[in-house]
Structure 1
Amino acid sequence: MTPDRAVSVYLDHLLVERGTAENTLASYRRDLRRYLEHLEAAGVGDLADVTERHVGDFLVALRTGADGRAPLATASATRAVVAVRGLHRFALAEGMVALDVAREVHPPSPPRRLPKALDVATVDRLLEARGGEADDLAGVRDRALLELLYSTGARISEAIGLDVDDVDSTQRAVRLAGKGGKERIVPIGRPALAALSAYQVRARPGLASKGRGTPALFLNARGARLSRQSAWASLREAADRAGIAGDISPHTLRHSFATHLLDGGADLRVVQELLGHASVTTTQIYTQVTVDTLREVFAMAHPRARM
C-alpha cells in the first residue's frame, strides 16, 4: 500500500472509529503530509519499504529543518512523531506491514527547566509583606500560609489540605498528605509556628465564624477551606507588596526551601524525604541549581576565574 493511501485510511480510522477531535485531526494531517513528503523525497513508494532510519531521519528533519521546512519546537516535533508512530502501529495492526518500524523512534524530550528559587533575603521580604495589621484577618492568614510553605517545603495542595490537628506545636512537626495519599511528617521552624499561632488566635476564629464549621486549618472569607486559586492570589499580593517582580507561584517557595537546604549542606536523601519525592532523581534537579549558584560565586570571587 502506498504511504499516501495508508495515511488516508489511518485518518479515517481516527475520525470514524476513534472519534478524534477535529483540531487534533487537522494537526495530524499537517504532520503526516510532511512525513509523506519526506518519504517521497527518499524514493519510498510503498509503506512496507519504510525503515526505522526513514522515521529517524524525519525526526531529525523536524528539529533541524533539513527538509527545507521551518524547524519545529519540541512540543510540535513530539506531536508529529506521535502521529507517525500511530500510523505505523495502525498499519501493523491492520496487516498493511509486517513490522512497526517507528516503535523505537521516540519523541524528543522537552528541555528540563530548572526550578526558580528566591534568595534568602527575597524570601524574608516576601514573608514580612503580610500579617502586620491586627485587624487584617486575611493578611495574618496569608503570613502563616507563606511561612508554612517555606518552612516545610509543602506543595500548595498539601498546605491547603491541612486540618488544625495536623500541626503539632509541641513536637514542632506537620503531617502532610502527599501524592497518592502518602503521609509524611516534616519538621517546622519556630517562625512558622509563631505565625500559625498568631493566625489561630487572631484570625481563624473570625474567619470560622462566617462558615458552618470545618477542621480545615486555612480558611477563606466565607469560613470554608482555602482554595488553591486563593492561595496563589495571596502569594501574588504578598509579592506585589514586597516589590518582587517576575513569575512567583506557591511552588516557588517549595523550590526555595529545597535549594536553601542543599546550599546549607543538607543531604540529598534528607531533602528527598522532606519534599515527599518518590525517587531521589526528582530531587537531584535542585543540585543543578546550587551548582549554578556556586559557579556564579566562583566567577565573581576567585581571582583567576576570569583570566
Structure 2
Amino acid sequence: MPVIAFPGSPPDPAGPGADSSVTAAIDRFLACLPAKTTRDSYAKTLTHLAGLAGNRPVADLSCEDYAAVMDRWNTAAAATWNRHLSALVSFTTWAQRQDLLATNPARRLTRRPAVRRGDRAIPAARLETLFTDERHPLRERLLWRLLYETAARADEILSLDVADLDLERRRARVTSKGGAIEYVHWATATARLLPRLLQGRQAGPVFLADRRAPATGRRAPATADICPVTGRGRLSYPRAEYLFKTATADLDPHREGWTLHQLRHSALQHLAEAGRTAPELQAKSRHQHLASLGRYIRLGEETSARITAEHDPAARRRAR
C-alpha cells in the first residue's frame, strides 16, 4: 500500500532516531518549506528560538520559552508581532506532527488586533517627489519605483536575480507567497532606470548591498546571493526598509517614515481611485481572493478631499 504524506507536512527526512534538539528540528522544518520567501521570513523568528533553546530537546519547549522569544517584538506593531507568532505556531504544528512535541508552547500567546490607519496610501504627488529626488542613490530610487509600478511584495523584488528580468517585455519572474512562479510588470520610468543600475551585469542579484559579501563565517551568504562581478551580496529587506523609512521621514505627516509595503498598498489604492475594477486589481496584485482587496477598494483621503471640493456650494457660484 502506498504511503501518502499529510498535506503541508512532508515526512521528516532525518527519520527515526534523528537529532531531536531544537536547532536540528528548526533546520528540518525550514527545509520542508517550499517557498524561499516563507523560509527566510520564518528563519528570522526561529533563529531566536534556536539561540534560546538550541541544544535542548524539542519536547522540553515551554510557554516561557516562546514568551521569551516573542518579548523581542513586544513593542512592535501588531502586524510584526502576528508575523513572528505565525512562525512559532507553524513550527509547533510541524513538530507535533513529527511526534517531537506533545504540548503547545504557543497556547498562551495571542494574535494582536491590527489598527488600520486611514492614510496608509502615500499621495501620488509625494511619491513622484521621492522618486525623482536625485539626492537619493539610484539603487533606492529604482527599488522604490519598481515596487510601486509592479505593486509587488518587497521580498519578491529584493529576491530578483538579473536572469529573472525580461527587459524587452518589461516584466520579471517572481516567486510569490506559496511558491508559485508569477510575473510582475513595470512601466517606462523603471525601464529607463534598470539598465543604469545593471551596468551590463548578466547574473547575480538585481539589488546589491553596499559592501562585498564575506567569503567565510556565519554571515557569509549563499553563492546565489553574491554578484559574480562585484562580489557584493544581495540587499537585505531590513536594510532596504531602514533606508526607505529614513528617506521618507520628512515627507510622512507622522514623521515616522513609510514602509516598503506601503508602496504596494499605494499602487493598488491609486489604481482603484482611477476606476480599475476589483478583478483588474487582483490581476495586478496577484491576490488569490478578491476579498483580500477590500482595503484597496476602500478609497482614501485624496478621494474624500476631491469629492468635498467638487460638491462645495461655493464652487458652484459663477463669477460675473
TM-score for the superposition, normalised by structure 1:
0.55
Correspondence 1:190-201 to 2 at 5 A: 190-201=188-199
- Kindly tell me the number of residue pairs found equivalent between the two proteins: 195
Correspondence 1:127-276 to 2 at 5 A: 127-130=131-134, 139-201=137-199, 215-221=204-210, 222=212, 223-240=232-249, 245-276=255-286
- 1:247 deviates by 3.4
Q: Specify the alignment match of 2:32 in structure 1.
A: none
Unaligned runs of 5+ in 2: 1-59, 68-77, 79-109, 213-231, 315-320
Structure-1 separation of matches of 2:66 and 2:154: 33
- 1:147 deviates by 1.4
Alpha-carbon spacing, 1:110–1:229, altered in 2? closer, same or farther (3 Å) = closer
Structure-2 separation of matches of 1:164 and 1:239: 28
Q: Specify the alignment match of 1:113 in structure 2.
A: 116
**Tell me, what secondary structure is at the counterpart of 2:156?**
helix
Structure-2 separation of matches of 1:291 and 1:124: 18
Alpha-carbon spacing, 1:279–1:130, altered in 2? closer, same or farther (3 Å) = farther
Structure-2 separation of matches of 1:148 and 1:177: 16
1:130–1:142 contact (8 Å) kept in structure 2? no
Counterpart amino acid of residue 235 in structure 1:
F
- Structure 1 position 295 matched with structure 2 position 301: no
**Tell me, what secondary structure is at the counterpart of 1:179?**
coil
- 1:285 deviates by 1.1
Counterpart amino acid of residue 20 in structure 1:
C
RMSD over aligned Cα atoms: 3.4
Counterpart amino acid of residue 220 in structure 1:
A
- 1:150 deviates by 0.9
- 1:171 deviates by 0.8
**Tell me, what secondary structure is at the counterpart of 1:249?**
coil
Which of the pair has more CA radius of gyration? 1
- Structure 1 position 277 matched with structure 2 position 320: no
Structure-2 separation of matches of 1:272 and 1:147: 20
- Structure 1 position 21 matched with structure 2 position 64: yes
**What percentage of residue pairs aligned between the two structures are identical?**
25
Alpha-carbon spacing, 1:295–1:193, altered in 2? closer, same or farther (3 Å) = same
Structure-2 separation of matches of 1:216 and 1:20: 40
Alpha-carbon spacing, 1:130–1:240, altered in 2? closer, same or farther (3 Å) = farther
Q: Which has the higher helix share?
A: 1
Structure-2 separation of matches of 1:180 and 1:230: 24
TM-score for the superposition, normalised by structure 2:
0.53
Alpha-carbon spacing, 1:190–1:131, altered in 2? closer, same or farther (3 Å) = farther
Alpha-carbon spacing, 1:177–1:299, altered in 2? closer, same or farther (3 Å) = same
Structure-2 separation of matches of 1:292 and 1:280: 23
Structure-2 separation of matches of 1:184 and 1:256: 21
Counterpart amino acid of residue 62 in structure 2:
G
Q: Specify the alignment match of 1:46 in structure 2.
A: none
Alpha-carbon spacing, 1:298–1:281, altered in 2? closer, same or farther (3 Å) = same
Alpha-carbon spacing, 1:263–1:296, altered in 2? closer, same or farther (3 Å) = same
2:278–2:290 contact (8 Å) kept in structure 1? yes
Alpha-carbon spacing, 1:23–1:161, altered in 2? closer, same or farther (3 Å) = closer
1:161–1:216 contact (8 Å) kept in structure 2? yes
Question: Structure 1, residues 44-71: CA drift from partner, whole Å, max 9, x if none?
Answer: xxxxxxxxxxxxxxxxxxxxxxxxxxxx
Alpha-carbon spacing, 1:199–1:242, altered in 2? closer, same or farther (3 Å) = farther
Structure-2 separation of matches of 1:241 and 1:153: 23
Counterpart amino acid of residue 193 in structure 1:
A
Counterpart amino acid of residue 256 in structure 1:
S
